[in-house]
Homo-oligomer: A and B are copies of this chain.
């Protein structure tokens, strides 16, 4: 299974830490020390989960190694939906005018990128699809409460699209060598650590410490699992792209894995937590840096305590 194209979109508006200092007194120094975040992007009032995804899709259609009409599966992922019925996946199908293919949109919170790719892997295994689009898009600022001094400053908006084919196609062929996902909803504060109840209090993180501890436990654990399963050690890995939640988590994951900081890819500093889109945006941003033969671990962790790791060979 190969990632044959990738594209991302970020809204123009930049919100710096100065905004939160004025709003609720959190200083730049305080935010950077605890999260690494200096600024994040915010969708305009004309934008939403769908429009951001469609902007990324426009870019990917330019680099697809086959005609868009050959796409035979779309999997969307978001926990900040614009529409739960005409979903993110449907919006992409609609905009790209692709007829009569399976379309579904998922959430396993910030870990959905890997769940979505695993669903594609399942369709490929059944021979029900061979050319899929995975679209990840988060409109965090639509659901976020900026006044929340615990987590209001963490979130940013963004989207990405990946084109994934069963066989090699075109020039960019990043092979997905392995992929493991799991859930630990029965652990710690999984049911309330970070939640988004659309009808109630929006996006909140009342138990950030518990989320932190479990993110720092499960990302290294599942990354090691995928390395061991493939006969690799940490020395074989060129880059690790962890879920882009908090730079302290990234540092902690690096420490546990024994990976030097320069191998850890991060966009948290200027994008904040872009949910399930974060790792995909980072993959797109860094594609010029990756070299043939590089082995990359993408590892995710989300509220509800889902997690996963994917081994990609460039």
Chain B binder among A22-30, A78-86, A167-175 = A78-86
A108 contacts chain B at the CB level, 8 A cutoff: yes
- For the complex, what is the distance from the CA of A197 to the CA of B96, rounded to whole Å? 21
A249 to chain B, nearest CB (A): 17
User: CB-CB contacts of A165-185 with B at 8 A, as 1s and 0s?
Assistant: 000000000000000011111
- Nearest B-chain residue to A94, judged by Cβ: B185
A264 contacts chain B at the CB level, 8 A cutoff: no
- Out of B109, B128, B182, B186, which one reaches A85, CB within 8 Å? B109
- Nearest B-chain residue to A189, judged by Cβ: B86
When all copies of this chain in the complex are counted, the total is 2
Q: Known contacts A108-B104, A191-B91, A306-B90: does B182 contact A84 (CB below 8 Å)?
A: no
- For the complex, what is the distance from the CA of A96 to the CA of B96, rounded to whole Å? 41
- For the complex, what is the distance from the CA of A303 to the CA of B86, rounded to whole Å? 6
| Contact across chains for A97 and B186 when beta carbons are under 8 A apart | yes
- For the complex, what is the distance from the CA of A238 to the CA of B262, rounded to whole Å? 63
Q: Chain B contacts of A106 at CB under 8 A? A: 104-107
Q: Chain B contacts of A143 at CB under 8 A? A: 199
